[in-house]
Chains A and B, each alone.
Chain A
């Protein structure tokens, strides 16, 4: 077995600037996305993910331009998510230089869209993002539910079943965010990550809650994740991606160093 586990720095982007919401409030500016992407590339990041949180339609053009500028300088896989509703949205992002797109809310409201997108563009570029929280209380069997709208809106969907269904519909990868952990720096929801990773045939990216390098190690070793995604621990210079990879390798995880 020689496939490396991946580290994916994530950039939340609003109108062409990198930001990171902490519990979705208190946004701090982390800079120009092209510069940030280049920095992560130099630090040996395995991929980069952008979540476009631009609300306005006009702001979308800025995102495409940003993706295009990054894709001309950074030659590792680029994933873009946020507000993707139509095949036309996907086509525009792929043409700008994105390699994969991440579909979240629209997958919940129109699951057939995932099937259509996978058939048209290939599963290899369709990531389905699942935001989920634990809904069982102590003493009950563990249960997680899918949420949308930044964790505010419940869907009634069981996260494990949903992940299976999305893979059946053509998702090539699952980006799983622990919504009860996102922004808390307490680590991934490991039982949920493990349950979903074991349930699906495709790679699972763990996201949400990374506060330390040990959290990344646990995501792979205990959560069974194929890749780990983090934002704030890298944005503010606490750790470089390179350090994180070395740390994971020192803990017995196969990495690209």
Chain B
């Protein structure tokens, strides 16, 4: 029983590994070894920074094909986090336009820089901090978490899925309704950082560790 956190060179994976170790008994390994990833019971696809770099590193480390395989493996739960959620979509408008893994139809868009609050002050981009997550559809990963709970975000781009059935959670920022939790079959992906979202985040990770889709 092992959880593999896929290390394709983008971002800080130690926080998520520490949080997974905290909530479960399964061994957590940070790895880019294809055999170790294939042999794991569940997989985390993280991602930080620019999406072009994330997609590029995924190809360079020859893990892109493997990730595509994992996405269609109904027995292996996969959790995407942050850019790991965005990469599952068809296309991102970041970096002048980047083709993504195309697992879920939809786009990754940028928050409008000119949004203001009720008093006319600009809304900052990145969207950084604790925002409410409205649960759009039921999902085993929401178990024990109330709709409207706040999770920790830091991002400038957000997912907009085409198919309502793939949207499990939304968050409002300015006039945007971001699809911050998406998924299908054994895949669940979130824009926020559950590993940094205190009790509710740990609860979601615990649900993932026990998820048997």
Binding site for B on A (CB under 8 A): 1-6, 41, 44, 46, 71-73, 75-77, 94-97, 99, 121-125, 172-173, 197-198, 201-203, 224, 226-227, 256
Q: Does B154 reach chain A (CB closer than 8 Å)?
A: yes
Which of A96, A197, A256 is in CB contact (< 8 Å) with B150?
A: A256
**Known A5-B129, A226-B129; 13 more pairs at CB < 8 Å:** A3-B123, A44-B198, A72-B18, A76-B152, A77-B196, A95-B14, A97-B14, A121-B12, A121-B49, A122-B48, A122-B50, A124-B48, A202-B128
Contacts of A95 in B (CB 8 A): 12, 14
Bound-complex Cα distance A122 to B125 (A): 14
CA distance A41 to B201 in the complex (A): 13
Interface contact tally, CB-CB below 8 A: 104
- A172 and B128: CB pair below 8 A? yes
Closest to B196 in A: A77
A46 to B171: give the CA distance in the assembly, Å: 18
Contacts of A172 in B (CB 8 A): 126, 128, 154
Q: Which of B180-203 contact A (CB under 8 A)?
A: 193, 195-198, 201-202
**Contact (Cβ within 8 A) A124 B154:** yes
Residue B52 is within 8 A (CB to CB) of chain A in the complex? no
B residues neighboring A (CB under 8 Å): 11-12, 14-15, 18-19, 21-22, 48-50, 113, 117-118, 121-132, 150, 152, 154-155, 171-174, 193, 195-198, 201-202
The answer, among B12, B129, B132, for a CB contact under 8 Å with A203, is B129
- Given A1-B174, A125-B12 in contact, is the A226-B50 Cβ separation under 8 Å? no
Contacts of B150 in A (CB 8 A): 4, 256
Contact B18 A1 (CB under 8 A): no
Tell me which of A3, A76, A97 has the highest count of chain B C-beta atoms within 10 A of its own C-beta: A3
* Distance A96 CA – B15 CA, assembled complex (angstroms): 9
Q: Is the CB of A198 within 8 A of B122?
A: yes
Given A4-B129, A4-B130, A94-B12, A226 contacting B48 (CB threshold 8 A): no
What are the nearest 5 A-B pairs in CB distance? A122-B49, A256-B130, A94-B12, A256-B150, A4-B130
Q: Chain A residues with Cβ under 8 A from B15's Cβ?
A: 71, 75, 97, 99
Query: From A4, which residue of chain B is reached at the shortest CB distance?
Result: B130
A76 contact set on B, CB distance < 8 A: 152, 196-198
> In the complex, what residue of chain B is closest to A123 when comparing beta carbons?
B126
Nearest B-chain residue to A255, judged by Cβ: B130
Interface-centre pick from B50, B196, B202 (highest chain A CB count, 10 A): B196
Given A3-B127, A99-B196, A198-B122, A75 contacting B19 (CB threshold 8 A): yes
Q: Which of B12, B22, B154, B172 contacts A2 (CB 8 A)?
A: B172
Distance from B194 Cβ to chain A, minimum over Cβ atoms (Å):
9
Interface centre among B19, B49, B50 (most CB of A within 10 A): B49
